[in-house]
Amino acid sequence: MQTAEIADRIAWAVDGLEVEIPTWGFVNTGTRFRVFPQAGVPRDVTEKLEDAGAVARYTGVAKRVAIHIPWDRTDDWGALRATAAGHGLAIGAVNSNTFQDEAYRLGSLCSPFPASRRMAVEHIVECCAIVAATGSDVLKVWLADGTNYPGQDDLRDRRRRLVETLTEVYAALPPGARLVLEYKLFEPSFYATDVADWGQALSVVRRLGERASVCVDIGHHAPSVNIEQIVASLLAEGRLGAFDLNDKQYGDDDLIVGSIDPYRLFRICHEMVGALRDDEDPAAQRCARETVWMLDQCHNLEPKLPAIIRSVMNLQEAVAKALLVDRDALLAAQRAGDILGGNAILADAYATDVRPALAELRTARGLPASPFRAYLASGEEERRATARVGGNAASW
Amino acid sequence: MQTAEIADRIAWAVDGLEVEIPTWGFVNTGTRFRVFPQAGVPRDVTEKLEDAGAVARYTGVAKRVAIHIPWDRTDDWGALRATAAGHGLAIGAVNSNTFQDEAYRLGSLCSPFPASRRMAVEHIVECCAIVAATGSDVLKVWLADGTNYPGQDDLRDRRRRLVETLTEVYAALPPGARLVLEYKLFEPSFYATDVADWGQALSVVRRLGERASVCVDIGHHAPSVNIEQIVASLLAEGRLGAFDLNDKQYGDDDLIVGSIDPYRLFRICHEMVGALRDDEDPAAQRCARETVWMLDQCHNLEPKLPAIIRSVMNLQEAVAKALLVDRDALLAAQRAGDILGGNAILADAYATDVRPALAELRTARGLPASPFRAYLASGEEERRATARVGGNAASW
Amino acid sequence: MQTAEIADRIAWAVDGLEVEIPTWGFVNTGTRFRVFPQAGVPRDVTEKLEDAGAVARYTGVAKRVAIHIPWDRTDDWGALRATAAGHGLAIGAVNSNTFQDEAYRLGSLCSPFPASRRMAVEHIVECCAIVAATGSDVLKVWLADGTNYPGQDDLRDRRRRLVETLTEVYAALPPGARLVLEYKLFEPSFYATDVADWGQALSVVRRLGERASVCVDIGHHAPSVNIEQIVASLLAEGRLGAFDLNDKQYGDDDLIVGSIDPYRLFRICHEMVGALRDDEDPAAQRCARETVWMLDQCHNLEPKLPAIIRSVMNLQEAVAKALLVDRDALLAAQRAGDILGGNAILADAYATDVRPALAELRTARGLPASPFRAYLASGEEERRATARVGGNAASW
Amino acid sequence: MQTAEIADRIAWAVDGLEVEIPTWGFVNTGTRFRVFPQAGVPRDVTEKLEDAGAVARYTGVAKRVAIHIPWDRTDDWGALRATAAGHGLAIGAVNSNTFQDEAYRLGSLCSPFPASRRMAVEHIVECCAIVAATGSDVLKVWLADGTNYPGQDDLRDRRRRLVETLTEVYAALPPGARLVLEYKLFEPSFYATDVADWGQALSVVRRLGERASVCVDIGHHAPSVNIEQIVASLLAEGRLGAFDLNDKQYGDDDLIVGSIDPYRLFRICHEMVGALRDDEDPAAQRCARETVWMLDQCHNLEPKLPAIIRSVMNLQEAVAKALLVDRDALLAAQRAGDILGGNAILADAYATDVRPALAELRTARGLPASPFRAYLASGEEERRATARVGGNAASW
């Protein structure tokens, strides 16, 4: 295939795909052993938006920014929204935080303590208001809730509390907004996490209502689990809501998306593209259209902005390759039971080098051919480091 | 605690617990590398029932026998039922088999080939009739369906076929009978198993109706997964249907239940006992009462009957320890947020040696104090080996 | 980069790489649940060599064939060697089999029974003679030895027996030949496999002598393990001996190499190419040169010859991409601590589409541009199926 | 068995076992998401020793205390040793820390930067001096070294640097002291940890000399790995040096030892007791005698002193059960190939309730029957919280 033909088929990766960048992707992060600080890290939400603006400028497709409460709390949400708009950004998901207050030691929505549950509900209800105030349409809830020891709490009781409190939260959703519930196998809880897998998340959101769905974070699964199949199943159920994109070899490693297993990322994108094009499954199609593609990574050692820009490009390449799959031929092979044929069609799309076509598409839209290289060559990184001296660098 | 007091509290493990033994537990099994044959293996279903009868006689609690179609097919189901009854056995779950015919090479209910799906539906519908004919009330469906390579088939299409065909099967369930769907992470499929986890199983059975539920096989999970939490969640959803009990360190190892991680088994039993006693959650309680406790193990190297008898004892010990948990104290500790206290109550029940009390309970009921030792000392094993010479030993 | 330049840099993947095909790759295989037979499967070693010859003819790089004793036993090894040579093949590793005889129920070299150990030693010593007789220079030993239950045997005793018996085997190695010991996490043993990981294999071969090394089978690791790092460490120790190439998502899935995680395969190849070019580490370089690249896969459902040819191509693509890595730039980035830079160099080589250059290289050497498509179009598959009717298809 | 007879056989768990408590077990810890502070946490090494002294007083077997440099640095090591002695404590292993300085961003002993390696070597050489100054005989080295991305650094180069720098460290070991190297699968490195498994650790210490051995931390393995077999193999190689005891379900969860899988802990102890009694394997026996049994846990949520005291008791119970194993009967069953018999002997020892006998043994030695309950009832916990108000609570 010639570059022009490829470009034609993958244009959605530049024109249609919307990537969401979280404000907390720009701040200092690390492990429990050490947070290695970086130069130029933003000190407040204004500087975080500035950084998100840079990512938007270079990539052209990352124009949504997710915020985290209370990390990004302000007393003027309209102003924050305007600042974002000034950088060409819309506010994406509003993320609640119920894991950093002393009250949440034993959990938040699932805590055995009614006061902790109350506090958590009120916090997330406030986030619902922030959804409305910022023009967002997504409330994202990740819970660190769980237990560290057998017997620490009653597993069914915790689940009951979860359904009760989430029901209350759901009732506070602004009109048109959605609630997305994220699951995670472990960490910070080490025995039983209350929303540990997609089965748990799906069965809980189903009790809430039509506007509740599930967030898939690539790093939140048990070893060996087939993630693209979970994506397919959530699409089939009409309950996929968002991605937290990153990559991993072990636990919730939060590495650059596509840096460890790019073929897995491609296969996930293949399910998404399949649903987007599937007119016969409107529920899946609607889901796929509404799904938030958010990066959720921790650049503990590598410089953050270049890493994020590179991540967006990795995602675009995976999406582009998925767009290249010859779906008619694939369907024919599958219907014929031609295992090697079906596999080859997928593998061939993946083996194609889509970088030249992506570069062309970007150039034609006034974007740098390689946002990564352009950013590194721009001097912005150095200017940011020089400008942001003093103050308290943001972190978790 | 004195033995008598313990006995009083754990009596249900001898009087209430009903263990189901599968006919295929007595036959020659192995791995893809080798099936090591054993002496005295049954050659037909009559001899399998004889073996199950022996397990029932020695243990007193294993009086249900699961059958597998076509392995146990007969043209007179009434006679089979009567033979079973002669051994003091009731027919338990009827298990379908849609993985050993050439037609199922690419799957059964999920196959891309309509003829294969049709054949599978008809087979399982026939199993529904066998449920009725044998006085059973459970149809158990495990599917080997899945794909070995990305692209081999469409994941959402396969799921759609699954729901469609299962709906047809469900409609054929005899009145009063239940359908139990089993999930499994992998093997014999190595890329994507169609019913790979409890999330998949639960979301599928929910589409069928109230009489469809989920079977938890201990060996069918990804590494690290917290199985007792899945049990708790399925109970909370009113959708736990059965256990396939065994133990494992790696994949679907099918070892003796409680032989690798007896504390995990205890924690599972703790969830079950909790639900049985939970008058405030009638759905969970009903589930717990109806749940089938079936052994599903492969005694590839060790002698089968002693291994099965030992397995029943292991299960009884785990249940007994769960019955010993001081639930009022546990609840109080949990409500108080006393992590170490709650954990200690569980750990203390587990640390108790329940074998003397179980021996007393058995003796009082005319059973051998140790069914395992009594069986080994009985000479039955040797007589069985001598009697069953020639013919074709049963296997999968 | 232009195709011609790429071709120039990756030529070794066509001219230097030697792939070994095992005779047992052509026979019927399956899981413990079912072996689905295929048409045209060889019925004896002669037909297996014929099939290996076809793979050699189409790919041009797979001209070594590994044999398995007793599956390929003959009374005239010279004739077998000549038959192979007639197909353009050399005999590669001679693989012992100590897992299919009744005597090996509790193990072979590690069995508690001296007679079983003796029998196993004698069998492997015979394999040493076959190494000499066939012009091979590699004895490969994989042991199914292990235990299924805690307490079944003494772990240190089994290890002691292993060292003792392997010492005896090692003494029988023909001059110039090497012994390669393979490890595997589990299956068919489900509690403790005697040679379970590279640590065990390395510490054991070290006791034997300089001509003993370790075989890395991609599917034989615990989940999450970094395989390329093991390869690097074995190279550093001068103890890498062979690869058993395949791919996997779960256990020892034995899928087509590169079909599940092609980037992992590339990273393994990157370690190999690095060692091949590392004049400063002669031990690693010698190792890398002598390492056997053998496919060890089970094509349970897909047709075998096309699958094997495709596998060889997958491997060539991974090697070619590794050859493309700009090692000077990589070293410079690494020395500078440039994380994203180093990663990008690797990722960029991997993202390159090497298929056109490989096609050119093949065509220039008189080979089909795509061996896979050429084979499928040749009609050989159908002729093979027609010719090989009747008799007993070979299997494990 | 009567309590007295049990007590007789398990006395070593009270009289012989020496447990080491790390000073960092008493400080505030948490996850990257949050450190929940506790009341009464020590503010300096003096208070840490006070806490260790309390554990020693209540348990009677935990009279060694491990220190961590620089966390416990003082300018008068003699005084620290004397303070410890005043609490009845000896200084155990001296633990180096090369992961919290900015210089170690890309590693310490394996860093690509010579200055970082130099700094790390000097730090650990200083730790050697501290070993001498404190009367310790063990230097323990855990390295956080590794990479987060493919291509970030050269895997063989890192290994080479490791061997070179460790060689330098080893040369600085005081006479009679040992170096123990710890491995860990992942965290804080997420792609390749330089000392990731026992194979890596063993092959590296072997290059150093006779006084270098390996530390097994229960939480540092890939999922499914059989840890007791690694212990057995390291004993067989004469290279087991220390345990970092804790428990885990997922990653390096650092939970209370025996709280998740007590049977695994028992099996590890069984290997240790086996080696201690194995007069025919002097290398293993010496190893087992010298092995340090250290707790390495993070009590993120539960109160620390009670958790540590409970941990010591859990370990004693596991050791006691291992001491109960009828080794002659076990050997006989194993030699006879009696799988169920061998397994039953182990399982029966484990099923025995050793708590009454341990209570008797403690009482006879002037210790509380239950150190856990006695400590909780003592009021010490409250006094500690009251006394230690203000100042900076210690943490990592």
Is C102 in the B-facing interface, judged by CB distances under 8 Å? Answer: yes
Residue B357: predicted pLDDT:
98
Question: Per the domain annotation, does A312 fall within a domain?
Answer: yes
3-state secondary structure of D226: coil
Structure tokens at D104: 């170690």
Residue C1: predicted pLDDT:
80
Q: What is the 3-state secondary structure (H, E, C) of chain B?
A: CCHHHHHHHHCHHHHCCCEEEEHHHCCECEECCEECCCCCCCCCHHHHHHHHHHHHHHHCCCCEEEEECCCCCCCCHHHHHHHHHHCCCEEEEEECCCCCCHHHCCCCCCCCCHHHHHHHHHHHHHHHHHHHHHCCCEEEEECCCEECCCCCCCHHHHHHHHHHHHHHHHHCCCCCCEEEEECCCCCCCCCEECCCCHHHHHHHHHHHCCCEEEEEEHHHCCCCCCHHHHHHHHHHCCCEEEEEECECCCCCCCECCCCCCHHHHHHHHHHHHHHHCCCCCHHHHHHHHHCEEEECCCCCCCCHHHHHHHHHHHHHHHHHHHHHCCHHHHHHHHHCCCHHHHHHHHHHHHHCCCHHHHHHHHHHCCCCCCHHHHHHHHCHHHHHHHHCCCCCCCEC
DSSP at D194:
T
- Asked if A188 and D34 come within 8 Å (Cβ–Cβ), the reply is yes
B304 Cβ contact list (under 8 Å, min separation 6)? B25, B26, B38, B41, B51
Average per-residue pLDDT for chain D: 97
Contact A191, A135 (CB under 8 A): no
Mean pLDDT of C3-28: 97
Torsions phi, psi for B214 (to 5 deg): -115, 140
Q: Which domain holds residue D307?
A: 16-324
Is C256 in the B-facing interface, judged by CB distances under 8 Å? Answer: yes
- Asked if D149 and A187 come within 8 Å (Cβ–Cβ), the reply is no
- Asked if D339 and C113 come within 8 Å (Cβ–Cβ), the reply is no
Question: Distance from A13 to chain D by nearest Cα, in Å?
Answer: 25
Q: Which residues of chain C neighbour B252 with C-beta distances below 8 Å?
A: none
- C-alpha B388/C-alpha C102 separation (Å) is 19
Predicted TM-score of the model (pTM): 0.98
Structure tokens at C85: 């040579």
| Helix segments in B277-336, DSSP class H | 282-290, 304-324, 327-335
3-state secondary structure of D241: strand
DSSP output for C259-281? SS-HHHHHHHHHHHHHHHT-TT-
The chain D residue lying nearest A191, using CA atoms, is D249
Mean pLDDT of B67-90: 97
Tell me: pLDDT of D263 over 90: yes
Question: Per the domain annotation, does C180 fall within a domain?
Answer: no
Average per-residue pLDDT for chain B: 97
- Pick among A260, A340, A355 to test the C interface (most C CBs inside 10 A): A340
Q: What angle do CA B346, B350, B353 make, to 5 degrees?
A: 145
Q: Which residues of chain D neighbour B350 with C-beta distances below 8 Å?
A: 262
Is C155 in the D-facing interface, judged by CB distances under 8 Å? Answer: yes
The packing angle between helices C77-86 and C45-59, to 10°, is: 30
Question: Per the domain annotation, does A140 fall within a domain?
Answer: yes
Structure tokens at B387: 């009697």
Is B151 in the C-facing interface, judged by CB distances under 8 Å? Answer: no
Report residue D260's pLDDT band, with 50, 70 and 90 as the boundaries: very high
In this complex, the chains that touch C, judged by 3 or more CB pairs closer than 8 A, are A, B, D
Q: Which residues of chain B neighbour D310 with C-beta distances below 8 Å?
A: 340, 344
Structure tokens at B353: 């040696």
Question: Distance from C77 to chain D by nearest Cα, in Å?
Answer: 37
- Asked if B339 and A159 come within 8 Å (Cβ–Cβ), the reply is no
- Asked if A259 and C347 come within 8 Å (Cβ–Cβ), the reply is yes
Question: Per the domain annotation, does B43 fall within a domain?
Answer: yes
Contact A152, D259 (CB under 8 A): no
3-state secondary structure of B131: helix
- Asked if C33 and B188 come within 8 Å (Cβ–Cβ), the reply is yes
Strands C240-245 and C292-295: what pairing?
parallel
C96 Cβ contact list (under 8 Å, min separation 6)? C69, C123, C124, C127, C139, C140, C141, C142
Is A188 in the D-facing interface, judged by CB distances under 8 Å? Answer: yes
B43 Cβ contact list (under 8 Å, min separation 6)? B388, B391, B392, B393, B394
Is D344 in the B-facing interface, judged by CB distances under 8 Å? Answer: yes
- Pick among A191, A198, A203, A279 to test the B interface (most B CBs inside 10 A): A203
Tell me: pLDDT of B1 over 90: no
The chain D residue lying nearest B318, using CA atoms, is D351
3-state secondary structure of A57: helix
Tell me: pLDDT of D336 over 90: yes
Contact B234, A155 (CB under 8 A): no
* pLDDT cut 70: percent of chain C above it: 100
Is C228 in the A-facing interface, judged by CB distances under 8 Å? Answer: no
Whole-angstrom distance between the N-terminal and C-terminal Cα of chain A? Answer: 46
The minimal CB distance from B352 to the residues D260, D261, D353 is found for D353
Torsions phi, psi for B39 (to 5 deg): -80, 150
Whole-angstrom distance between the N-terminal and C-terminal Cα of chain B? Answer: 46
Question: Distance from A123 to chain B by nearest Cα, in Å?
Answer: 22
Residue C330 has, within 13 A of its CA and on its CB side, a CA count of: 24
Residue D222: predicted pLDDT:
98
Residue A229: predicted pLDDT:
98
- C-alpha A120/C-alpha D347 separation (Å) is 46
Q: Between the CA of residue C377 and those of A334, C301, D46, what are the distances in Å? A: 20, 20, 80
- Asked if C148 and B191 come within 8 Å (Cβ–Cβ), the reply is no
In this complex, the chains that touch A, judged by 3 or more CB pairs closer than 8 A, are B, C, D
CATH number at residue B272: 3.20.20.150
Is C249 in the A-facing interface, judged by CB distances under 8 Å? Answer: yes
- Asked if D261 and B259 come within 8 Å (Cβ–Cβ), the reply is no
- Asked if C223 and A226 come within 8 Å (Cβ–Cβ), the reply is no
Is A287 in the B-facing interface, judged by CB distances under 8 Å? Answer: no
Report residue D1's pLDDT band, with 50, 70 and 90 as the boundaries: confident
The chain D residue lying nearest A190, using CA atoms, is D253
For residue C175, which amino acid is it? P
Residue A1: predicted pLDDT:
80
Is A260 in the D-facing interface, judged by CB distances under 8 Å? Answer: yes
- C-alpha C186/C-alpha C250 separation (Å) is 12
* pLDDT cut 70: percent of chain D above it: 100
Q: Which of B371, B223, B252 is CA-nearest to residue B310?
A: B371
* Tens digits of residue pLDDT in B311-349: 999 999 999 999 999 999 999 999 999 999 999 999 999
* Tens digits of residue pLDDT in B225-267: 999 999 999 999 999 999 999 999 999 999 999 999 999 999 9
Question: Distance from A348 to chain C by nearest Cα, in Å?
Answer: 10
Question: Per the domain annotation, does B251 fall within a domain?
Answer: yes
Residue A346: predicted pLDDT:
98
For residue C364, count CB atoms less than 10 angstroms from its CB and return exposed for 0-12, middle for 13-18, buried for 19 or more.
exposed
Residue C361: predicted pLDDT:
98
Peptide bond into D114 cis (omega under 30): no
- Asked if B228 and A196 come within 8 Å (Cβ–Cβ), the reply is no
Question: Per the domain annotation, does B391 fall within a domain?
Answer: no
Question: How many domains does chain D fold into?
Answer: 1
The minimal CB distance from C224 to the residues A249, A263, A310 is found for A249
Question: Per the domain annotation, does A366 fall within a domain?
Answer: no
Q: What residues in chain A have per-residue pLDDT under 70?
A: none
- C-alpha B85/C-alpha C5 separation (Å) is 79
The chain C residue lying nearest A343, using CA atoms, is C259
Handedness of CA B69, B71, B72, B75 (dihedral sign): positive
Question: Distance from A55 to chain D by nearest Cα, in Å?
Answer: 22
Tell me: pLDDT of B389 over 90: yes
The minimal CB distance from D351 to the residues B259, B344, B353 is found for B353
Peptide bond into A368 cis (omega under 30): no
Structure tokens at A37: 């600080």
Residue count (chain D): 396
